Structure 1
């Protein structure tokens, strides 16, 4: 079983790529989604976040991600502390999930695959790249955020150039969805021949 790391900056379209690959029966672990779930499920994380940010960081038993984001994305030390708390739990959760899979390939999708160091446990890393302005517009529309808020999030991640330099394969998402489907088909063909 080979582990494929799938990454890309905010608004790059990595989730769309993940969905297309999932339709090819490749199991996908969505790290960011599981991190959000774990921050609601793990007693250790819930209690630590309440200690750090107050009981009102949870509303009706659910993490107020907007509030947490406004705190940690404004302070790199608080963001680093959050990552140090959550990443080990996500890594352990991925290992448990991996043992349940029976496939030649599995995919670990993560926005900060390189930044978190989890790329080191992947056999192949693919990054999705898109023009910066396209990413900004997509994210503003999807998340109902201002341009400044989106740019602030982007500034906390690696650039496309940094990711491309370390990736084994690059999927360009700079045109239509049909073109993206073709890019994913080419990647899937490449993957089948890389075994």
Structure 2
């Protein structure tokens, strides 16, 4: 069984994913795998140069993520082109990865499951939510960027309310202890669905 886990920037979906991991569930973090592919694939480097110019690869031979982020968050078409380079490769890698897992179910964590209409690829979907102010605070601390920059990134994502309507389950992630309890409850429920 494959469960999609999503949530807006700063919702804490990675934190929630780690809680499932501690319960023995295999987690595929699409962003992390995308980063690895971007760093290690010469083919992707060539396509990035084609899209952003030579300065996109830094002196260490790695993609300049800050430069890419600065450009794509302001330009939806550029973001779309970047996604067309990265997403199909992540999807291919996931297919190979999933065959090697042997946990009762697996979780695929990605930020834009609903925006990309990918929910049909999963048996169930979970949305992680948090109040807007909490999200902004988390991202400011994590990425050392301004509240305005966080707000800009949020504009590119759907609202929680829009996603909640599409998700099978919701976990509100404000209070960590409560979040842990909710994850455990949902884990038990998912196990019962696997065994049904």
**TM-score of the alignment, normalized to the shorter chain, above 0.5:** yes
Partner of 1:75: 75
1:110 matched residue in structure 2: 110
Preserved contact between residue 11 and residue 139 of structure 1 (Cα < 8 Å): yes
Output the CA distance in 1 between the equivalents of 2:75 and 2:51. 13
The aligned counterpart of 1:170 is: 170
Counterpart position of 1:190: 189
Deviations 1:145-174 (A, max 9, x none): 111110111110111111111000000112
- Paired residues of 1:7 and 1:127 also in contact (CA < 8 A): yes
Structure 1 residue 93: deviation in Å? 0.8
Cα root mean square deviation, aligned: 1.0
Preserved CA contact (<8 Å) 1:30 1:108: yes
Structure 2 residue 49 is the aligned partner of structure 1 residue 50: yes
CA displacement at 1:47 relative to structure 2: 0.2
Q: Which deviates more, 161-170 or 36-45? A: 36-45
Q: Which residue of 1 aligns with 2:145?
A: 145
Contact 2:104/2:191 (<8 A) preserved: no
Structure 2 residues not aligned, in runs of 5+: none
Q: Is the 8 A contact 1:87 1:116 kept in 2?
A: no
Q: Does 1:32 align with 2:31?
A: yes
1:161 counterpart residue number = 161
Unaligned runs of 5+ residues in structure 1 are: none
Q: Which residue of 1 aligns with 2:96?
A: 96
Give CA deviations for 1:51-101 in whole Å, capped at 9, x if unaligned. Answer: 121222111111111110000111111011111111101100110101111
| Number of aligned residue pairs | 193
Distance 2:80 2:158 in 1: 15
Q: Could you tell me the TM-score, scaled by structure 2's length?
A: 0.95
- Please give the residue correspondences for 1:18-29 in structure 2 after superposition, counting only pairs within 5 Å: 18-29=17-28
Deviation of the 1:119 alpha carbon: 2.1
Paired with 2:118 and 2:189, the residues of 1 have a C-alpha distance of 23
Please report the TM-score for the alignment, with normalisation by the length of structure 1. 0.96
- The whole-number CA distance in structure 1 between the counterparts of 2:51 and 2:11 is 32
Instruction: Answer with 26-35 or 46-55: which moved more.
Output: 46-55
What is the rounded CA distance, in whole Å, between the counterparts of 1:152 and 1:71 in structure 2?
12
Structure 1 residue 43, shift from structure 2 partner: 2.3
- Residue 14 of structure 1 corresponds to 13
Moved over 4 A (4+): none
